[in-house]
Chain A
Amino acid sequence: MEWNTTQHVWLILGCFCVAFAPRLIPLMFFRTRKIPNWFNEWMRYVPISLFTALVVKDLFISPEYTVTFVNRAPEMIAAVIVIGIAYWTRSMAISVVLGLLAVFLLAMVV
């Protein structure tokens, strides 16, 4: 079945709704209410946990959601390089650019 443009538009509208609701609801909820202290303290650990989860997904999880180490050598080595660069330079731009360069070169060699 080949989808037509009208179906694509409906699909986008549907996706917009399910993408917008989770983004909006927490912000709406805490817009006027007082945010409890314990909640803020809990949320302080959200970024680090989420970013680690995203990195683990990118590096070790296959599209079929199994843990895999096959053919991931360039990304894994580049990840170590990025961690080092980020630690020493503290520059987001340098980390991203050199990381991309590293994975590109490693993919040709490995």
Chain B
Amino acid sequence: MGKAEAKSRAKLPYWRRILDASLPVDLSYIPIGLACGILLHASGFNVWTTLMVSIMVFSGGAQFLIASLLATNAPMLSVILMMFFLELRYALLGSSLSKYLHGESLGFTALFAASMNDENYALNYLKFSTDKKFTPHEALHVEHMTLVFWTISNIIGSLIGSAINIDLTIVHFALTALFLYMIVVQLKNGLIIVICILSGFLAAFFMVITKSTLGLVLSTLTASFIGFMVEATIRKFDTKSRWLKPMKNPAGSPEDTDEDTDD
């Protein structure tokens, strides 16, 4: 650790730095992408439609949903409608990244939006909030690097078809682990931990009553709004509250900067 490593990092070619930044997602996309390709093949997609769906939709959850709905012969309109509710949460990802992408060109914004998903959003959000030098163009290339791994894995999955058998719940855990990691690194004070637990209960509650992933959107909106309101209230009355006191980080990451300073 330290300066020597930082120096050797700066010398790495650009594509290597992007690959390094996106590697955790790239690697977990290989088994999940293969499984997804196999399922799409089983539900009647050929290699070309698999290629098309992995580039144009680029969302693991959505593609698994398409495969399972096609297997049950759901009508096209209802598949698209369910996709809409599933993808609605991306509006939140875009909103929370918007301050880092402010003032970019229309073309760039459209390109960035087209291949944004949960996983590369997780990577980019962490990068933007900890690394001041991280640019929107690097973020776009991180998206495209994950897209390449996803698409190739989908295609290979489609080609090997039904030849192998993958336990989907186990493979899917790679993404769960990724999100768990993202939660852990963001738990910086007592209030965030409370909001995290609250969000968990709200998510279960809203998903059970809406019977769809719309519950994800509702719980995220509610929990984040409560967090924002509580923080504003605490700051008003007790600026030195222990709920907002930063916690010690056992691994000690010097790159971590306080987000309050930049807005």
Contacts and interface: CB of A to CB of B under 8 A. Distances in A.
A59 B99 CA distance: 32
A51 B27 CA distance: 19
Interface residues of A, number: 79
A4 to B, nearest CB: 9
Interface string B209-245: 0111101100110011101100110000000000000
A59 to B, nearest CB: 7
A109 interface: no
Contacts of A75: 169, 173, 176
Interface string A49-84: 111111111111100111100000011001100110
A5 B263 contact: no
B80 interface: yes
B170 A18 contact: no
A39 B263 CA distance: 11
Interface in A13-30: 13-16, 18-20, 22-30
B179 A54 contact: yes
B249 interface: yes
Interface residues of B, number: 104
B53 A12 contact: yes
Contact of A49 (B44, B102, B184, B224): B224
B148 interface: no
Interface in A74-107: 74-75, 78-79, 82-83, 86-90, 92-93, 95-97, 99-100, 103-104, 107
Nearest to B224: A45
Interface string B73-110: 10010011001100111111111111101111010011
A39 B96 CA distance: 9
Contacts of A37: 263
